[in-house]
Amino acid sequence: MSIRIFLGLLTFLFCKGNVIPGQDPKNVPNLFNLPGMLVNNRSDIVLMEGDIALSKHTDRTAYIQSPKWPNGIVPIEFDGAFTEEQKNVIIGAMTTISQNTNDCIRFVWRNNNPAWLRIHSGQGCWSYMGKTVSSGQQDLSLQIPGCVHHSVALHEFLHALGFAHEHTRPDRDTYVRVYYENIEPSQTFAFDKFPSNQVNTFNQAYDYGSIMHYRNDAFSINGRPTVKPILAGYENWESYMGRGDKMSAQDIQKLKTYYGCP
Protein backbone atom coordinates (compact mmCIF):
# COMPACT_ATOMS: atom_id res chain seq x y z
CA MET A 1 0.00 0.00 0.00
CA SER A 2 1.38 3.43 -0.89
CA ILE A 3 1.78 6.01 1.84
CA ARG A 4 -0.52 8.32 -0.12
CA ILE A 5 -3.40 5.84 0.12
CA PHE A 6 -2.45 5.07 3.72
CA LEU A 7 -2.66 8.77 4.60
CA GLY A 8 -6.13 8.95 3.13
CA LEU A 9 -7.31 5.99 5.17
CA LEU A 10 -5.97 7.60 8.32
CA THR A 11 -7.52 11.03 7.84
CA PHE A 12 -10.56 10.18 9.97
CA LEU A 13 -8.30 9.47 12.94
CA PHE A 14 -7.23 13.08 13.19
CA CYS A 15 -10.40 15.13 13.44
CA LYS A 16 -10.68 15.07 17.25
CA GLY A 17 -7.42 16.59 18.37
CA ASN A 18 -4.71 14.48 16.76
CA VAL A 19 -3.38 13.16 20.03
CA ILE A 20 -2.55 9.82 21.56
CA PRO A 21 -5.16 8.70 24.12
CA GLY A 22 -4.19 10.12 27.50
CA GLN A 23 -2.95 13.41 26.04
CA ASP A 24 -5.23 16.41 26.54
CA PRO A 25 -5.69 18.23 23.21
CA LYS A 26 -6.10 21.47 25.21
CA ASN A 27 -2.56 21.10 26.51
CA VAL A 28 -0.39 21.47 23.43
CA PRO A 29 3.12 20.62 24.66
CA ASN A 30 5.74 23.34 24.98
CA LEU A 31 8.38 22.19 22.51
CA PHE A 32 11.02 24.26 24.28
CA ASN A 33 10.31 23.30 27.89
CA LEU A 34 9.78 19.55 27.68
CA PRO A 35 11.77 18.00 30.56
CA GLY A 36 14.74 16.12 29.17
CA MET A 37 13.67 16.72 25.58
CA LEU A 38 16.37 19.09 24.38
CA VAL A 39 19.50 17.35 25.55
CA ASN A 40 21.75 16.45 22.64
CA ASN A 41 24.33 13.76 23.27
CA ARG A 42 25.35 13.25 19.64
CA SER A 43 28.91 14.22 18.81
CA ASP A 44 28.19 15.18 15.19
CA ILE A 45 25.44 17.79 15.53
CA VAL A 46 24.51 20.90 17.46
CA LEU A 47 20.97 22.14 18.02
CA MET A 48 20.36 25.71 16.92
CA GLU A 49 17.32 27.54 18.34
CA GLY A 50 16.53 24.43 20.37
CA ASP A 51 15.31 22.12 17.60
CA ILE A 52 17.19 22.84 14.34
CA ALA A 53 20.03 20.37 13.77
CA LEU A 54 23.31 21.45 12.20
CA SER A 55 26.55 19.64 11.60
CA LYS A 56 29.14 20.91 14.08
CA HIS A 57 31.13 22.09 11.07
CA THR A 58 28.24 24.06 9.52
CA ASP A 59 27.89 27.82 9.87
CA ARG A 60 24.57 29.02 11.33
CA THR A 61 23.65 30.92 8.18
CA ALA A 62 24.20 27.96 5.87
CA TYR A 63 20.96 26.16 6.65
CA ILE A 64 18.82 28.93 5.20
CA GLN A 65 20.20 27.96 1.78
CA SER A 66 19.27 24.28 2.13
CA PRO A 67 17.56 22.98 -1.01
CA LYS A 68 13.94 21.96 -1.25
CA TRP A 69 12.84 18.36 -1.59
CA PRO A 70 12.62 17.86 -5.38
CA ASN A 71 9.09 18.14 -6.74
CA GLY A 72 7.79 18.39 -3.18
CA ILE A 73 8.24 14.64 -2.67
CA VAL A 74 9.67 13.58 0.71
CA PRO A 75 10.58 9.87 1.02
CA ILE A 76 10.27 8.71 4.64
CA GLU A 77 10.84 5.75 6.90
CA PHE A 78 10.18 5.12 10.59
CA ASP A 79 12.64 3.44 12.89
CA GLY A 80 11.39 0.52 14.95
CA ALA A 81 10.73 2.44 18.16
CA PHE A 82 7.25 3.75 17.32
CA THR A 83 4.02 1.88 17.95
CA GLU A 84 1.36 1.91 15.23
CA GLU A 85 -0.61 4.39 17.32
CA GLN A 86 2.38 6.73 17.52
CA LYS A 87 3.04 6.38 13.80
CA ASN A 88 -0.58 7.34 13.14
CA VAL A 89 -0.15 10.60 15.06
CA ILE A 90 2.97 11.45 13.05
CA ILE A 91 1.37 10.41 9.76
CA GLY A 92 -1.54 12.69 10.69
CA ALA A 93 0.85 15.66 10.55
CA MET A 94 2.04 14.55 7.11
CA THR A 95 -1.59 14.23 6.01
CA THR A 96 -2.25 17.81 7.13
CA ILE A 97 0.64 19.15 5.06
CA SER A 98 -0.34 17.17 1.97
CA GLN A 99 -4.00 18.07 2.18
CA ASN A 100 -3.34 21.78 2.73
CA THR A 101 -1.07 21.93 -0.31
CA ASN A 102 -3.44 19.88 -2.48
CA ASP A 103 -0.85 17.08 -2.64
CA CYS A 104 1.77 19.46 -4.02
CA ILE A 105 3.92 18.26 -1.10
CA ARG A 106 3.74 14.51 -0.64
CA PHE A 107 5.33 12.03 1.73
CA VAL A 108 6.10 8.63 0.20
CA TRP A 109 7.72 5.50 1.55
CA ARG A 110 11.48 5.35 1.12
CA ASN A 111 11.59 2.34 -1.23
CA ASN A 112 14.49 2.89 -3.66
CA ASN A 113 14.80 6.66 -3.27
CA PRO A 114 18.44 7.69 -2.85
CA ALA A 115 17.72 10.20 -0.06
CA TRP A 116 15.06 9.96 2.62
CA LEU A 117 13.83 11.35 5.92
CA ARG A 118 14.26 8.92 8.81
CA ILE A 119 11.79 9.61 11.61
CA HIS A 120 13.20 8.27 14.85
CA SER A 121 12.91 8.61 18.60
CA GLY A 122 16.17 10.42 19.27
CA GLN A 123 17.18 12.82 22.01
CA GLY A 124 14.53 15.51 21.81
CA CYS A 125 12.35 17.08 19.11
CA TRP A 126 14.48 18.35 16.22
CA SER A 127 15.07 18.37 12.48
CA TYR A 128 17.57 19.58 9.93
CA MET A 129 16.49 22.55 7.81
CA GLY A 130 15.40 21.64 4.30
CA LYS A 131 16.91 18.74 2.36
CA THR A 132 20.51 18.41 3.53
CA VAL A 133 21.59 15.09 1.97
CA SER A 134 21.98 14.06 -1.66
CA SER A 135 21.96 10.39 -0.70
CA GLY A 136 21.33 8.41 2.44
CA GLN A 137 19.19 9.24 5.43
CA GLN A 138 18.40 12.60 6.97
CA ASP A 139 17.21 12.40 10.57
CA LEU A 140 14.15 13.95 12.16
CA SER A 141 13.74 13.21 15.86
CA LEU A 142 10.43 12.88 17.69
CA GLN A 143 11.36 11.50 21.08
CA ILE A 144 8.81 9.19 22.66
CA PRO A 145 6.52 10.15 24.32
CA GLY A 146 6.71 13.96 24.63
CA CYS A 147 7.43 14.81 20.99
CA VAL A 148 4.82 12.47 19.52
CA HIS A 149 2.11 15.09 19.18
CA HIS A 150 0.44 16.46 16.06
CA SER A 151 1.59 20.06 16.56
CA VAL A 152 5.17 19.12 17.40
CA ALA A 153 5.40 16.83 14.37
CA LEU A 154 3.99 19.60 12.13
CA HIS A 155 6.60 22.03 13.47
CA GLU A 156 9.48 19.65 12.81
CA PHE A 157 8.23 18.65 9.35
CA LEU A 158 8.10 22.33 8.38
CA HIS A 159 11.73 22.65 9.45
CA ALA A 160 12.53 19.62 7.28
CA LEU A 161 10.73 21.30 4.39
CA GLY A 162 12.95 24.36 4.77
CA PHE A 163 11.29 26.75 7.21
CA ALA A 164 12.81 28.68 10.12
CA HIS A 165 11.18 30.00 13.29
CA GLU A 166 8.91 32.99 12.79
CA HIS A 167 10.58 35.07 15.50
CA THR A 168 13.96 34.94 13.70
CA ARG A 169 12.63 37.13 10.86
CA PRO A 170 14.75 40.25 10.32
CA ASP A 171 11.73 42.50 10.96
CA ARG A 172 10.61 40.78 14.16
CA ASP A 173 11.42 43.73 16.47
CA THR A 174 8.51 45.62 14.91
CA TYR A 175 6.13 42.90 16.10
CA VAL A 176 7.54 41.32 19.27
CA ARG A 177 9.81 42.21 22.15
CA VAL A 178 12.32 39.67 23.37
CA TYR A 179 13.02 39.73 27.11
CA TYR A 180 16.59 38.51 27.30
CA GLU A 181 16.65 38.91 31.07
CA ASN A 182 14.11 36.07 31.33
CA ILE A 183 15.88 33.65 28.97
CA GLU A 184 18.11 30.79 30.05
CA PRO A 185 21.61 32.25 29.47
CA SER A 186 22.68 29.25 27.41
CA GLN A 187 19.70 29.70 25.07
CA THR A 188 19.84 33.42 24.19
CA PHE A 189 21.22 32.50 20.75
CA ALA A 190 17.84 30.90 19.99
CA PHE A 191 16.40 34.41 19.71
CA ASP A 192 18.95 35.73 17.20
CA LYS A 193 17.52 37.36 14.09
CA PHE A 194 18.58 36.61 10.55
CA PRO A 195 19.75 39.44 8.28
CA SER A 196 17.33 40.34 5.51
CA ASN A 197 19.60 38.84 2.85
CA GLN A 198 19.55 35.41 4.51
CA VAL A 199 15.86 34.70 4.98
CA ASN A 200 12.76 34.87 2.79
CA THR A 201 9.52 36.14 4.33
CA PHE A 202 7.63 35.47 1.07
CA ASN A 203 6.07 38.94 1.38
CA GLN A 204 3.90 37.66 4.22
CA ALA A 205 3.10 39.73 7.30
CA TYR A 206 4.49 38.63 10.66
CA ASP A 207 2.43 35.66 11.82
CA TYR A 208 1.75 35.38 15.56
CA GLY A 209 -0.34 32.28 14.84
CA SER A 210 2.33 30.40 12.90
CA ILE A 211 3.02 26.80 13.89
CA MET A 212 6.67 27.94 13.68
CA HIS A 213 6.35 30.64 16.36
CA TYR A 214 7.86 30.27 19.83
CA ARG A 215 5.61 30.27 22.87
CA ASN A 216 5.72 33.39 25.01
CA ASP A 217 7.64 31.46 27.69
CA ALA A 218 10.08 29.51 25.50
CA PHE A 219 13.38 28.90 27.35
CA SER A 220 12.21 30.98 30.33
CA ILE A 221 14.51 30.82 33.35
CA ASN A 222 11.96 32.25 35.77
CA GLY A 223 8.51 31.52 34.35
CA ARG A 224 8.16 35.04 32.97
CA PRO A 225 7.62 35.81 29.29
CA THR A 226 10.58 35.66 26.94
CA VAL A 227 8.74 37.06 23.91
CA LYS A 228 5.60 39.23 23.75
CA PRO A 229 3.60 40.91 20.96
CA ILE A 230 4.00 44.68 20.77
CA LEU A 231 2.00 45.52 17.65
CA ALA A 232 -1.11 47.51 18.54
CA GLY A 233 -4.19 45.31 18.53
CA TYR A 234 -2.24 42.05 18.85
CA GLU A 235 -1.35 42.15 22.55
CA ASN A 236 -3.82 39.37 23.35
CA TRP A 237 -1.97 37.00 21.02
CA GLU A 238 0.63 36.41 23.74
CA SER A 239 -1.28 33.47 25.20
CA TYR A 240 -1.80 31.90 21.76
CA MET A 241 1.70 32.11 20.28
CA GLY A 242 3.24 28.67 19.85
CA ARG A 243 0.19 26.93 21.27
CA GLY A 244 -1.71 26.15 18.09
CA ASP A 245 -2.23 22.61 16.84
CA LYS A 246 -2.48 23.43 13.14
CA MET A 247 -0.76 25.45 10.44
CA SER A 248 -1.92 29.02 9.96
CA ALA A 249 -3.18 30.30 6.61
CA GLN A 250 0.17 32.06 6.18
CA ASP A 251 2.12 28.87 6.95
CA ILE A 252 0.21 27.16 4.18
CA GLN A 253 0.70 30.03 1.75
CA LYS A 254 4.45 30.11 2.43
CA LEU A 255 4.69 26.37 1.79
CA LYS A 256 2.82 26.73 -1.48
CA THR A 257 4.93 29.67 -2.58
CA TYR A 258 8.23 28.02 -1.66
CA TYR A 259 7.40 24.77 -3.44
CA GLY A 260 5.71 26.42 -6.42
CA CYS A 261 2.30 24.93 -5.68
CA PRO A 262 -0.72 26.13 -7.67
pLDDT in tens, 111-151: 999 999 999 999 889 999 899 999 999 999 999 999 999 99
Based on the fold, state whether residues 213 and 172 are members of the same structural domain: yes
The catalytic position among 156, 181, 235, 238 is 156
Phi and psi at 210, nearest 5°, equal -65, 145
As annotated, the binding site includes: 155, 159, 165
129 and 43 within one domain: yes
108 and 211 inside one domain: no
245 and 149 share a domain?
Answer: no
Numbered residues of the known binding site for Zn(2+)? 155, 159, 165
Domain count, the chain: 2
Do both 189 and 98 map to the same domain? no
Is 156 part of the annotated catalytic residue set?
Answer: yes
Q: CA 14, CA 95: separation in Å to the nearest integer?
A: 9
| Coil, helix or strand at residue 19 | coil
The whole-angstrom separation of Cα 144 and Cα 131 is 24
- Helix 150-160 to helix 84-100 angle (10° resolution) is 60
Q: Average pLDDT by consecutive 10-residue portion of the chain (262 residues)?
A: 43 32 42 41 46 47 66 97 98 98 98 97 92 95 96 96 93 97 93 85 94 95 98 94 94 96 96
Shared domain for 131 and 171, answered yes or no, is no
Q: Assess whether 86 and 214 both reside in one domain.
A: no
- What distance in Å separates the CA atoms of residue 74 and residue 87, rounded to the nearest whole number? 16
Do 76 and 182 lie in a common domain?
A: no
Are 152 and 217 part of one and the same domain? no
45 and 73 share a domain? yes
Q: Are residues 25 and 96 in the same domain?
A: yes
User: Which domain-ending residue is among 110, 133, 160?
Assistant: 160
Q: For residue 33, what pLDDT is reported?
A: 47
pLDDT at position 148, please? 97
Cβ count within 10 A of residue 78: 18
Q: At which of 160, 178, 202 does a domain end?
A: 160
How much is the pLDDT for 197? 80
CATH number for the domain spanning 241: value is 3.40.390.10
97 and 172 both lie in a single domain: no
Q: Which pLDDT value is given to residue 196?
A: 83
Range of the domain at 249: 166-258
Under DSSP, the state recorded for 15 is S
Q: Are 136 and 153 in contact (CB under 8 A)?
A: no
**106, 125, 160 - which closes a domain:** 160
- What CATH number is associated with residue 104? 3.40.390
Contact 37, 143 (CB under 8 A): yes
